[in-house]
A = this chain, B = another copy of it.
Amino acid sequence: MTKISKKTWKERWFQIIFEADTSKGRTFDIVLMILILISVTALILSTVESFKPYANVFEIIEWCVTILFSVEYILRLIVLKRPSTYIFSFWGIIDFLSTIPKYLSYFLGFESYLTILRTFRLIRIFRILDLGPYIGESHNLSKALKASKEKIFVFLFFVLAISVILGTIMYWVEGAEHGFTNIPKSIYWTIVTLTTVGYGDIAPQTGLGQFIASIVMIMGFGIIAVPTGIVTAEYTKTMSNRTNTKMCRSCGEDDHQDGAKYCHKCGGGMS
């Protein structure tokens, strides 16, 4: 008897935590989101000078959120049949990392770098929102990214290689006295210029340096066009495929070409 009631208790909590189509599940998600936003806001404000007097308020908030997150994490482990799969999944690791920083900083005695882990809580919001109608969008996005994976890799390597070559050239042309103190710094300058960010903390001052910089900038013009071109083309493609909402009666395939009369998967006729 006790065993059965325990099982239903687990099942009820599984629905609340992992599913969003019940009113309790939705409430759980909203509470989780509010907790995440409160804890991240507290973290951000705690570093501002004028909020320093309220340091212990932020401390209490962080402890409350940490404890609630811990309870939630343990509940997830209890409720699941195979907790190990969850623990080592992407979301399991994110959940764990966004729970522990306060404990770690308590036991280790220092805080600083560990607070970065607290911002990982924001990533959890993606999962909560993903449960809604946004899934389709992110699915499309990840499909477009996967389709152009090789192109992106080649492009990134090209940008890096060109940054190293141009950075080395600028290091010899401008030299340490104009801010190009070493090659890594010159490469940093090249990336700042190619991406059209242009801080101006390091800027060429010799005529030749400014001439080379002009070429780099016009190249950056062309280079910035490449990822935009890739994303637009892939996006247009996935978008145009999505509009073919007709479903095949025989095999259920719902991804058909415009004006298709026969299913491309099973060959069955389509209405």
Chain A residues near B (Cβ < 8 Å)? 40, 43-45, 47-49, 112-113, 115-116, 118-120, 122-123, 125-126, 129, 133-134, 137-138, 150-154, 156-159, 161, 164-165, 168-169, 171-172, 181-185, 187-188, 191-193, 195-201, 203, 205, 207, 210-211, 213-214, 217-218, 220-222, 224-233, 235-237, 239, 241, 255-257, 259-269
Contacts and interface: CB of A to CB of B under 8 A. Distances in A.
A184 B209 CA distance: 12
Contact of A230 (B120, B211, B235, B264): B235
For this chain, the copies found in one complex come to: 4
A165 B230 contact: no
Chain A to chain B: the 6 pairs with minimum beta-carbon distance, closest first: A262-B267, A197-B198, A199-B200, A260-B264, A229-B231, A200-B200
A220 B197 contact: yes
Contacts of A191: 214, 217-218
A241 to B, nearest CB: 8
14 contacts: A40-B164, A49-B181, A116-B165, A134-B150, A137-B150, A137-B154, A192-B198, A197-B198, A200-B200, A224-B224, A225-B228, A233-B235, A261-B266, A263-B264
Nearest to A219: B195
A175 B123 CA distance: 24
A120 B225 contact: no
Contacts of A224: 221, 224, 228
A257 B262 contact: no
A156 B168 CA distance: 25
Contacts of A211: 184, 188
Given A156-B218, A232-B236, 17 more contacts: A123-B161, A125-B157, A126-B158, A137-B150, A188-B213, A197-B197, A197-B198, A198-B200, A225-B230, A226-B231, A228-B228, A229-B236, A233-B235, A233-B236, A262-B262, A264-B264, A267-B268
